[in-house]
Each structure stands twice: as C-alpha cells, then as structure tokens.
Structure 1
C-alpha cells in the first residue's frame, strides 16, 4: 500500500519535491518526480539538526545479567557516568545474587561428583536439590560449598550410592554440613530411604588388601540379615555394622583381619567397630540360645 506524505521536514534532496510517496510493503519513501529513494536517515532527508536539549526524559537503562547498558545518545556527563557505574556495581551485587549462587554451587557439585566418580543421575539430583534451596532462600547467608556438599549427600542417599560422609565433606566443617543436611531434608520435605549396612559390604571389601574370599562376604551378609530380623543395631552407623560383620565373618572362618584396617576401609574409627562387634556377638548368642530352646522343646 502506497500513501502520499507531505512535510517540510521530508523533502527530496535532488529535486526539492515535498510530496513523497511511502511504500508500506517495502518500507521505502521515494520521490515520484525524480525517482530518488529517500529514507529517515539524516544523509538522505533534510531533518532539523539534533539537539540534546530536546530530550525531556532520561535514556532507557537496559539491564542484562547484572550489566547496565546505556544508549549512546549524546555525551554523558561525568556525574552520569559515575552513577551508571555505581548502578552496575549495585546490580551485580544484589539483582543476580541467586544466579551467581546457583552457578557457584553447580560448579562445586560438578567438581565433587567428578572426584568421587558419581553417576550423572546423582549429580543432577544434587543440582536440583541445591536449586530448590536457592529458590526457597535457604542458601542466603550460609556457606555455599557446605550447602552443596549437603545436597550431594542427600542425592547419594536417595539413589543408594554408597559414599562415606568424610569423602563428600572433603575439608568442610562436618558439623555445618550435618546441620545443612537436616535443614534441607526438613524444609524441602525430602523422603529418604534408610541406609542398609549390606550396601557397604562390597565397598569395604574392595578396599581391603588382601581381599577376603567370597565366603566371608556371604557370611557377613547373613549376619547383617540376622541383625535385621532380630531388630538389633538400630541407631548405629551402617558402616560400623558392615565393618563389624566382615570382621566377625572372617574370624569365624579363621582369617585374620586387623580391626584398624577394616575401620580405615569403612571410614570409621576402630572403637566404633569394636563396639559394633560386641552388639553383633550378643545378637548371635541370643539367636543360638533361641535355637537350642526350640530344639529341646521339640
């Protein structure tokens, strides 16, 4: 569609005709007399000279990822430049703090997952938990690496990926990470399965040198199943129960394994293994007494 425009500001530079025709389809303005194609650019159209004083409003501030971009219309005064730089610093500090926190936490989770050789589903679940914590405001004012470690601990337990807490914490405060762990589970309403001592058997055995035979592994699993049937061992760390079961199974088969070696493989202290051994022996003794009574009665 073509319309005729008449304006003193729009005038053909070649013939001086003020009746120009605008083509809406092509977006062009041309002169019907000489055929010159004009446009709204200053080089082709006689527009009035530009004046900074004609602007009666501030130039629009465009913000993208914490950076202020001011349109270069005219010259900025020294005060305006300093104000723009101060605004940029303030926005980088406050506006995108959540994105920056999430980026730092994701980087930490990715590095820790690579070091521990965790599967991708565990890493993605840890990132999802950390993102929910950021959106809910749980990370604000708290240690980001410790919160990321707590998210990774929850993901490992959710997918039953066996990693000890000392491996995941990796230099962070154990007390702080444990507190963040309980905070995330409580505030995000996360349902976690109870860890089973049987899941730690293969990990502990693979770290022992020399590696005990499979008969010891099978006997240790039988001992742990007996504990579960007798409802014994609740409240104790599953790593300690698994290490104690391996020690007792090896002892029954005449294989000598130092308690300290098993404790180091499980990531616990030897005193905890010794106390767990005492609990397991009492449980096995109660099972034997019950079997003897049943034999006498029958």
Structure 2
C-alpha cells in the first residue's frame, strides 16, 4: 500500500491507496476499484543482493574517485558515426571547436590538471601491481585529501601518488612492499618512503602494520600451494607470534 491518491468518485472519500501487488487503486471506505492494470515504473528485473543490483542496473557507470571528475563528465567523440549524414565544412569546424572547448572545460585549472595526471599515475601503478579496485579507490581518496590540504606543492606528483598507493595497501591489509611500488613507479624506495612519512604526519592517518600472516596467502597463491599447506603455514606463523 502507498500514500493517498485523489478522491473516490463513488463516495467522495480521500482514502485511496495504490496496491502494488494487484496493480490497482482502491477506496478504503467503500472498496471501489478506481483504477486497475497500472503500469509498474520500476525495473523489469529483480535483485536479491547488492552485487546483483549493481550488475543488472542500467543507469550508467557508478561514481568513482579514480577519475578526476568522478565519471560525471561527457565526451564529444571525434570519430564520425557510420550511419551519420555528412556534415558541411562549417559544421565540421563547429564540432571541432565544441570538442576543443569541452576538453578545456574538463581541465579548467591547474588543480584539475594535477588531479587528472595523478589519478592516471595511480591507475597505472595499481594495474602493474594487480591490486583490487577498492584499493585504487582508497588511494584516490587519500590523494584528494592531500591535494585539498595543499601537500603536493613543491613535491613530486608521482611520489605522492606512489605513497598514496602504499598507504591504501597498508590500510586495506594488502601486503605490498616499497620495493614493489618503486619498481613499477620508476621512483626510488627512499623517495616513496619520504613522501609516505610526510603524508602520515600531515594527514594524521592511522595505518596498521602489516602482519606476517598477510604474506602467507600471497606467497601461497604465487607458489600455487594447496590449502592444507597454507593452513599449516598460518598455524606456524601464529605460534611464532605468540612466542615473542
């Protein structure tokens, strides 16, 4: 049942309700069916959890912090559609100008250009390290916070981006070392560590330490070990931790 809708033509009562199960509108006072066979404005599919809902919905891509405009901007494509009619030279010049100004509006100032370059660097590092998407989102949020506090001024964008990836991995409990990030970002381990310590101090982020158990699953996957071997390794690490 839903909210009241208009008045009943039979008794004049205003207590009209919409029944979504039978797809009609009825009067609660006299029982007259005022309207029936109503159209359902909802989707034609059903979802039983958030994952199914995300896969079946067709309202566009979700918001993401990994893109400088969060994925809300539009793009005027430079390629002509095969079914489109031919345009005159004046119209082609107008379309070219529209594309040019649209690109300029998307990156209108130095902050937007900085963010776009840094997020592209974050995406490149995350792809090279094969880390999950939620870590990329976390790293993007960390970099946005650093940019908002003006921590990037006078420092390397690549260094802050690499430090953001490392901080996100630590916060999400994914074992990645500074040497691995240094290898894919073409920065030295010392530079990334310096940027990381600076961001920890200025942002006041809590970063838990990486435990040896977090490396067990990673090494087990890389070596293609059986689950029984991984469980034994977990037990050994746990016993060694308790003996300290």
Normalising by structure 1, report the TM-score: 0.42
Q: 2:163 matched to 1:150? A: yes
The one of 181, 192, 204 aligned to 1:168: 181
Q: Find the counterpart in structure 2 of residue 124 from structure 1.
A: 137
TM superposition shift of 1:175: 0.2
User: How large is the Cα RMSD of the aligned pairs?
Assistant: 1.9
TM superposition shift of 1:141: 1.2
Q: 2:201 matched to 1:182? A: no
TM superposition shift of 1:212: 4.3
Instruction: Work out the number of aligned pairs and report it.
Output: 135
TM superposition shift of 1:172: 0.8
Q: 2:116 matched to 1:103? A: yes
For residues 226 and 120 of structure 2, the distance between their equivalents in structure 1, rounded to whole angstroms, comes to 41
For residues 163 and 209 of structure 2, the distance between their equivalents in structure 1, rounded to whole angstroms, comes to 17
TM superposition shift of 1:121: 1.8
Contact residue 130 and residue 147 of structure 1 kept, 8 A: yes
- Which one scores higher on RCO, CA 8 angstroms, separation ≥ 6? 2
Normalising by structure 2, report the TM-score: 0.51
TM superposition shift of 1:180: 0.6
Bigger Rg, structure 1 or 2: 1
For residues 170 and 237 of structure 2, the distance between their equivalents in structure 1, rounded to whole angstroms, comes to 19
TM superposition shift of 1:125: 1.2
TM superposition shift of 1:144: 0.8
Contact residue 146 and residue 173 of structure 1 kept, 8 A: no
TM superposition shift of 1:134: 1.4
1:93-138 Cα deviation digits (max 9, x unpaired):
xx93322221211110112222323222211111111111112121
For residues 108 and 146 of structure 1, the distance between their equivalents in structure 2, rounded to whole angstroms, comes to 10
Q: 2:232 matched to 1:219? A: yes
TM superposition shift of 1:190: 0.4
Q: Find the counterpart in structure 1 of residue 207 from structure 2.
A: 192
Superposition pairs for residues 250-269 of structure 1, below 5 Å? none
For residues 152 and 111 of structure 1, the distance between their equivalents in structure 2, rounded to whole angstroms, comes to 11
For residues 115 and 191 of structure 2, the distance between their equivalents in structure 1, rounded to whole angstroms, comes to 19
Q: 2:153 matched to 1:140? A: yes
1:6-32 Cα deviation digits (max 9, x unpaired):
xxxxxxxxxxxxxxxxxxxxxxxxxxx
For residues 227 and 98 of structure 1, the distance between their equivalents in structure 2, rounded to whole angstroms, comes to 49
For residues 121 and 212 of structure 1, the distance between their equivalents in structure 2, rounded to whole angstroms, comes to 26
Contact residue 135 and residue 172 of structure 2 kept, 8 A: yes
Unaligned runs of 5+ in 1: 1-94, 232-298
For residues 109 and 124 of structure 2, the distance between their equivalents in structure 1, rounded to whole angstroms, comes to 23
Contact residue 122 and residue 165 of structure 2 kept, 8 A: yes
